[in-house]
Amino acid sequence: MVDATAAGGLGILGGTFDPPHVGHLVVAVNVRWALGLDEVLLVVANEPWQKAHLPVSPAADRLAMVEAAVEGVAGVSAGALEIDRGGTSYTADTLAELARRCPGVPLHVVLGSDAAAGLDTWERAEEVRAGASIVVVTRPGAERAPLPPGWAARHVEVPRLDVSSTDLRARVRDGRPLDWLVPRPVVALIGERGLYAAGG
């Protein structure tokens, strides 16, 4: 999963991934290229604290979909750290674990502008700020959203793809196609496991 000898650094793109889609992969490969990272890890949340009030698919299903999505994508892999740890998922805990596993490897937390604006509300935000650099994904032509006071970030421009996991789940329920929005192996897995079906 993680090469502890990596010199260029490790990107951490956390999320619920319910389901993972092409937008996630576009972010991962572009950030890896722009920053010269050795790897970008798609870390699947076990119990996402920001979505505690929402229904979320089982962690095992979401991890399986991410593993299917990144198959064959150079330098991008699935991370089960938060699932293995159990309980509510916090970035501070994940960074601490990665620092133990990969001493000396620079860590980079990758997130969108909306999430970046709320960094000071994160659990143990100071540990996140101390443990990793922040990488904010921006869209071509978009104005950079301000960060909370005391935070700094690198900005990486990524092609704009308006793909939402919420819409994708609705498409499955309605019987609409997921082609070209979700990697083909993930589409197959959704069908095999009956994910997001009406009443499911």
Give me the CATH number covering residue 115: 3.40.50.620
For the CA atoms of the chain, what is the radius of gyration?
16
* Residue 96 counted as domain residue: yes
* Residue 200 counted as domain residue: no
Number of domains in the chain: 1
Contact 8, 49 (CB under 8 A): no
Residue listed under structure tokens 């979505």: 51
The predicted-structure confidence for 55-96, as pLDDT tens digits, reads as follows 899 999 999 999 999 999 999 999 999 999 999 999 999 999
The predicted-structure confidence for 113-164, as pLDDT tens digits, reads as follows 889 999 999 999 999 999 999 999 998 888 888 899 999 999 999 998 889 9
Which pLDDT band, with edges at 50, 70 and 90, does 200 fall under?
A: very low
Distance CA 140, CA 157 (A): 6
**Which residue type is seen at 199?**
G
Task: State the residue range of the domain holding 37.
Answer: 10-193
The pTM of the full predicted model, rounded to 2 decimals, is 0.91
